[in-house]
Amino acid sequence: MFGVCEGMTPASEDEVTSFDNTPTPDQETKFDWSETIQGLVLGSFNYGYIMTQVVGGRLAERYGSKWVFGISILSGGVANLLAPTAARLHYGVLIALKVVQGFFQGVTGPSMHACLAHWIPPLERPRFVASVYFGTELGTALTLPLCGIIIHTMGWAAAFYVTGSFSIMWCLLWFSAMHSKPAQHPRISREELQYIENAIRNSGTSNKRPPRVPWKDIATSLPFWAILFCDLGNSWGTSLFKAQLPTFMKNILGFSITMVIISNEDLQGSTF
């Protein structure tokens, strides 16, 4: 739920395709925004997101991934709830809100890895990290069409309200059940705690917070730069895909989620 509906930007009335004449909820609140403004709205999340990528992991080390990761998701939920109001006020307000949302949610990935470093034994970590990232992309793949259905049945603002509400409900569960380190968990068994701590210790790593960040070693590490450029290319592609896919399908391919819903309703109501 990390901003996947940000691609669902309300379009102007003259952009509604000719084959889709079905009136939709909240149709009176469509905005006559130019392509440039729409691009700024769609990209504004990333302007803030890139600012906190480096500091996110360090914040989690200092204050605990429970709070850093949880507040990040909570801020995204609150921003989604405020997005329709911001859009009705002015597109500049919406852009500012998305920048702030991206700023808070930029720590999500780094703080998640800080959390896994404390909880997951090194030999099990690659498989677990793969599962986490798979879950992230699966959630995006499911949320995009669901947002389309919500927009068709309840209006575009409802997509922000629904995803924002789910984020806040998830945060309530996270803050009540999550702990930054295994030793802080009140219900963990002694056997599991010893297993995790021994596995991390035997791997040569430590759960202790480093006194300082080795910036010079990081900046001169070739593997670091290789991973950085690979991730940069991957993130640019996936971010562009998530932000522009709904607009591309609507304006270029002429595809509307309304067509799919109406076609399914016709098939269910027809006899063969």
Residue-wise pLDDT for 1-37, tens only, equals 444 555 544 444 444 443 344 445 545 467 888 888 9
pLDDT > 70? residue 156:
yes
d(CA 157, CA 87): 10
Q: Specify the pLDDT at position 58.
A: 87
d(CA 173, CA 1): 15
Q: What angle do CA 133, 243, 144 make, to 5 degrees?
A: 65
Contact between residue 191 and residue 105 where contact means Cβ atoms under 8 Å apart: no
Q: What angle do CA 15, 263, 28 make, to 5 degrees?
A: 35
H/E segment holding residue 111: helix 108-119
Residue-wise pLDDT for 84-110, tens only, equals 999 999 999 999 999 999 999 999 989
- Of the candidates 11, 7, 14, the one whose C-alpha atom is nearest the C-alpha of residue 46 is 7
Longest dimension (CA), the chain: 73
The three-state secondary structure class of 43 is helix
Residue-wise pLDDT for 179-196, tens only, equals 999 989 999 999 999 999
H/E segment holding residue 105: helix 91-105
Q: Distance between terminal CA atoms of the chain?
A: 40
Regarding predicted confidence, which is higher, 12 or 243? 243
Using CB atoms within 10 Å of the CB of residue 205, give its burial: 0 to 12 exposed, 13 to 18 middle, 19+ buried. Answer: exposed
Residue-wise pLDDT for 137-152, tens only, equals 898 888 888 888 888 8
CA dihedral 193, 197, 199, 205 (to 10 degrees): 160
88: tokens are 């009705």
pLDDT > 50? residue 245:
yes
Residue owning tokens 């989620």: 257
Residues 207-213: what's their mean pLDDT?
A: 67
Over the chain, what is the mean pLDDT?
81
